Structure formats: C-alpha cells, structure tokens
Amino acid sequence: MSKTIYILNGPNLNLLGQRQPELYGHDTLQDVERTCTAVAAEFGCEIVQRQSNHEGQLVDWIHEARQNAAGIVLNAAAYTHTSIAILDALNTYDGLVIEVHVSQIHKRESFRHTSYVGLRADAVLMGFGVNGYALATRHVCEMLTAKG
C-alpha cells in the first residue's frame, strides 16, 4: 500500500513566511516541506508537497492523488471557502483527507467560517500555525502505519 502523502497548498501560500507574519508566522513552505519530510521519514512514509494559485491545478493534483497517495493534507487557502470543484474532487478520493489552516479561521471574518473542504475532511487542524502541517502529517502516518 502507498505510504505517500500529498500536502497541497492553495493560493497565496507561496508567500508564507514573506508577508503578514502576525497572521501566518515566519516559516516558509520550504520549511514546512523539510519538517513534514522528517516527520514522515520516522514512519517510513514520504510526502509530496505542492502549491498552486489555480483552482483547476489543485483539482488535477487531487485526481493524481487517487492513484499515488494514501492521504492528503490540504490547505486550500481561500478556495476552502468557495470551491465546490475542490470538494467534488475530494469526494472522488478514497484516502484520508486532513484540512489544515495556519490561522484559526473562526476568529476571523465571517466569510472564512464556511469550509467546503470541511464537508469531506476526516479531521481539521487550524490555529496551530505551520505546525498544523506536521501534526496532520504525523496523524496520517500513524493511521497508515496502524493499518500496516
């Protein structure tokens, strides 16, 4: 069974660590990739991390994950709150889906309180900063390892 986990990031997250540190912290997506790679290695798992500003690209990667990944850690960023296309893609996926947000979206504007991704996610982490990615990766790895 595949022990690959896709970590998918939506629009503007390429700027993580470069702008708005009061909201999103100082770590970059490269830092996230390094940390999650180390966590996954503890379990003999591997991660594939990607970021796109384009909705359709995220949909394509979710389709790709159907063949290649046992779990998806997804921060769909603003598409979380708008994208039925991403929800539909997630609904074609059989593995674990963990929704991650760097910030605690319920403490923010009301338009961020709705999550289409949350209609499919098996678990949700928010407000842990970028540590949420590592926590989510660890959880997926533990679930995969428990299954053998």
Q: How far is the CB of 105 from ligand CA2 (least distance, A)?
A: 5
DSSP element (H, E) containing 42: helix 29-42
Residue 112 DSSP SS3: helix
- Residue 90 contacts residue 117 (beta carbons within 8 Å): yes
Comparing CB distances to ligand CA2, the nearer of 102 and 121 is 102
- Candidate residues 78, 123, 124, 143; the one interacting with ligand CA2 per rule CB under 6 A: 78
- Candidate residues 52, 103, 125, 137; the one interacting with ligand CA2 per rule CB under 6 A: 103
| Contacting ligand CA2 within 79-98 (CB under 6 A) | 80
Comparing CB distances to ligand CA2, the nearer of 79 and 93 is 79
Q: How far is the CB of 58 from ligand CA2 (least distance, A)?
A: 13
| Contacting ligand CA2 within 129-148 (CB under 6 A) | none
The count of chain residues that interact with ligand CA2, using the rule CB under 6 A, is 16
Residue 66 DSSP SS3: helix
- Residue 121 contacts residue 97 (beta carbons within 8 Å): yes
Q: Is 133 a catalytic residue?
A: no
Between helix 131-147 and helix 29-42 the angle, nearest 10°, is 30
Q: Give the C-alpha separation, 4 to 89, whole Å.
A: 18
Could you tell me the CA-to-CA distances from 140 to 71, 76, 103 in Å, in that order?
7, 18, 21
Catalytic residue among 6, 79, 101, 133: 101
| Contacting ligand CA2 within 11-50 (CB under 6 A) | 12-13, 15-16, 19-20, 24
Q: What are the φ/ψ torsions at residue 30 (nearest 5 degrees)?
A: -65, -40
| Footprint of ligand CA2 (CB under 6 A) | 12-13, 15-16, 19-20, 24, 75, 77-78, 80, 101-103, 105, 112
**Catalytic residue set:** 24, 101
